[in-house]
């Protein structure tokens, strides 16, 4: 990669990294100015859609007493992305699990909180089984009306856009940077790579092993989205001594122990990659092979084995480390 502006900051409970090379079109701001602009965008995105902030637009939607609630374009887009992920995953990646995730112990942000031991959690985890869609889930009843600028959902149905928000944010920023020679947008492990420079000289990216923290595999990526989902990043011990994490089985509302501890997916967009990575991890080895077959990816089994799936391009020692996904 040639000289580029490279910055990292905290937002969305994650490290956000922006790498921007020279503009292709006249009139575009220099890379440093573009990065500052996109940082402001991401920070506003996070503030407006966080379920941890009572004054956010998402919190206001979840508190609203009626079925039809006025919603900004950003909120409507975020809710639509959650519904799309549910459709894409056959209901496995479900945006309506706010109640269960809070009951599991994830009511407030875990920013700055060290995760529990994954090895210890695996030793005490229940029997392994894949997640299943809940036929009673009400995400199909959510409607976005762009003409009326509203979201309609059943009264009392809590929505959590955090699972898809980072991918959506990465895709939005990538769209705004499409006039630059090369760019990388990394929103906590939901990544978009773009620009003619990357197509001519693909980036090498490291995928972290959830157990060791070492490089599990290096991927060569020319364009599109990459996302990693892992149990090691957000895992905690509950008051009863059991362990929980942020990936729930829609059918039970409980954390999933599928036999996998990490999954990385490639796709045309970060939102789709994020959805496929979670789908793979939630559905276990057999489900992951189906989920990742089209665009490619890899999974890490709970005993540490790394399995490549589909059309991925392995590379040599990496030039860019893949961020952690929450």
C-alpha distance from residue 299 to each of 190, 230, 293 (Å): 16, 10, 12
For residues 308 and 275, is the Cβ–Cβ distance under 8 A? Answer: no
Q: Look up the pTM and report it.
A: 0.93
Lowest mean pLDDT across 35-49, 106-120, 275-289? 106-120
Q: What is the mean pLDDT of the chain?
A: 92
Query: Is residue 123 included in any domain, yes or no?
Result: yes
Q: What is the CATH number of the domain that holds 171?
A: 3.10.520.10
Q: How many domains does the chain have?
A: 1
Q: In the chain, what percentage of residues exceed pLDDT 90? A: 79
Hey, what are 270's tokens?
């970060």
Q: Provide the pLDDT for residue 2.
A: 53
| pLDDT confidence band for 60 (50 / 70 / 90) | very high
Owning domain of residue 239: 5-321
User: pLDDT, tens digit, for every residue of 109-164?
Assistant: 777 788 889 999 999 999 999 999 999 999 999 999 999 999 999 999 999 988 89
Terminal Cα distance for the chain, rounded = 27
Does 160 map to a domain? Answer: yes
Predicted local confidence at residue 320, as pLDDT: 60
Cα 271 to its chain centre, rounded Å, is: 7
DSSP per-residue codes, 62-83: HH-SSSEEE--HHHHHHHHHHH
User: Given this model, what pLDDT does residue 325 score?
Assistant: 47
pLDDT of 111? 73
Mean of pLDDT values over 227-245? 92
What's the pLDDT tens digit per position in 237-249?
998 999 999 999 9
Residue recorded with tokens 């639509």: 80
Q: Where do the DSSP E strands lie in 154-305?
A: 183-187, 190-194, 203-208, 215-221, 224-230, 235-237, 243-245, 260-267, 297-301
326 domain-assigned: no
Chain centroid to CA 279: 11
Q: Among candidates 225, 222, 174, which has minimal Cα distance to 198?
A: 222
């Amino acid at each position: 990669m040639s000289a580029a502006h490279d910055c990292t900051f905290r937002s969305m409970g994650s490290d956000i990294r922006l790498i921007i090379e020279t503009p292709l079109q006249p009139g575009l701001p220099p890379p440093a100015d573009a990065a500052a602009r996109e940082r402001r965008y991401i920070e506003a995105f996070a503030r407006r859609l966080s379920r941890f902030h009572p004054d956010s637009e998402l919190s206001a939607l979840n508190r609203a007493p009626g079925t039809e609630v006025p919603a900004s374009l950003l909120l409507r887009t975020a809710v639509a992305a959650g519904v799309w992920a549910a459709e894409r995953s056959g209901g496995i990646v479900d945006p309506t699990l706010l109640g269960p995730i809070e009951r599991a112990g994830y009511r407030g942000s875990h920013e700055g909180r060290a995760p529990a031991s994954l090895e210890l959690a695996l030793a005490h985890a229940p029997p392994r089984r894949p997640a299943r869609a809940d036929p009673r889930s009400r995400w199909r009843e959510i409607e976005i009306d762009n003409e009326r600028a509203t979201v309609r959902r059943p009264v009392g149905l809590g929505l959590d856009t955090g699972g898809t928000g980072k991918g959506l944010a990465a895709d939005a920023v990538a769209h705004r940077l499409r006039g630059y020679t090369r760019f990388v947008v990394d929103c906590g492990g939901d990544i978009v790579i773009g620009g003619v420079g990357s197509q001519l000289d693909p980036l090498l990216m490291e995928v972290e092993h959830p157990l060791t923290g070492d490089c599990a595999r290096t991927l060569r990526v020319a364009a599109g989205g990459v996302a990693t989902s892992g149990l090691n990043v957000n895992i905690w011990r509950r008051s009863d001594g059991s362990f929980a994490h942020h990936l729930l089985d829609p059918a039970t509302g409980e954390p999933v122990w599928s036999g996998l501890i990490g999954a990385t997916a490639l796709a045309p967009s970060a939102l789709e990659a994020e959805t496929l990575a979670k789908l793979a991890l939630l559905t276990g080895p057999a489900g992951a092979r189906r989920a990742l077959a089209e665009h490619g990816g890899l999974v890490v089994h709970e005993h540490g084995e790394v399995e490549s799936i589909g059309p991925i391009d392995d590379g040599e020692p990496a030039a860019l480390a893949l961020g952690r996904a929450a």
